Amino acid sequence: MKTLSETTALTQLKKLKTAYHEFIKIKYEHNAKSCLTCETQGVCCLDAHFVNVHITKLEAAAIRETLGKLSEEKQRRIFERAKETVEKYDLKTSGNTFGQTFACPLFEKGVGCLVHSDAKPAPCISHACYEKEADLPPEKFQEQTENRIERLNKRTYGNAFSWLPIPVWLVNIYAKDFEDK
């Protein structure tokens, strides 16, 4: 298997997610309620009993790249929110991490998802406010996308990777920049 540089993999990841988002938007989102009309915007991202989105190291790098466009102070606040989320919900890096739920530190009231356009995770792309279960995108499309992401991740970093909760990866990618400063 040919290895990829992180830069090349991030470019391929962006194309993959853009195509997936376009597919979901065209085929399914017309059946969903717009986030802009939601009575409680962000409730799906902040519902600590619901959110359990996991990402790979490559997706964490894409998030880091996107957040890197923000001021250092704003990045520090996101890091602190992520740290607080890991502590509050006792998020782990091993065991049944998919059973762990949390409020997403990438959602900011009045702004929305901070990585919506450039680094939104596949489960978040799939999710929308569908009133009928029949209107939901079939899970197989998200699974196919996540399998492609996993292959890109493996080609970039080898077999030493984990799917971890978003806040755990955020703490990992920012620790050297903001820990104890």
Query: Bridge partners of 54?
Result: 165
DSSP 70: S
- Decide: 165 and 97 in contact? Cβ < 8 Å: yes
Q: Which pTM value belongs to this model?
A: 0.91
Contact 129, 40 (CB under 8 A): no
The partner residues of 108 in beta bridges, in order of sequence, read: 112
Q: Tokens 């990045």 — which residue?
A: 75
Least-confidence region, from 36-50, 64-78, 137-151: 36-50
Q: Which band of pLDDT confidence, cut at 50, 70 and 90, is reported for residue 181?
A: low
Residues 52, 126: Cα–Cα separation, whole Å: 14
> Of 129, 130, 136, 166, nearest to 48 (Cα)?
166
Asked which of 71-80, 90-99, 137-146, 170-179 is least confident by mean pLDDT, the reply is 170-179
Q: Is 164 helix (H, G, I), strand (E, B) or coil?
A: strand
DSSP state of 83: H
CA-nearest of 3, 92, 7 to 54 is 92
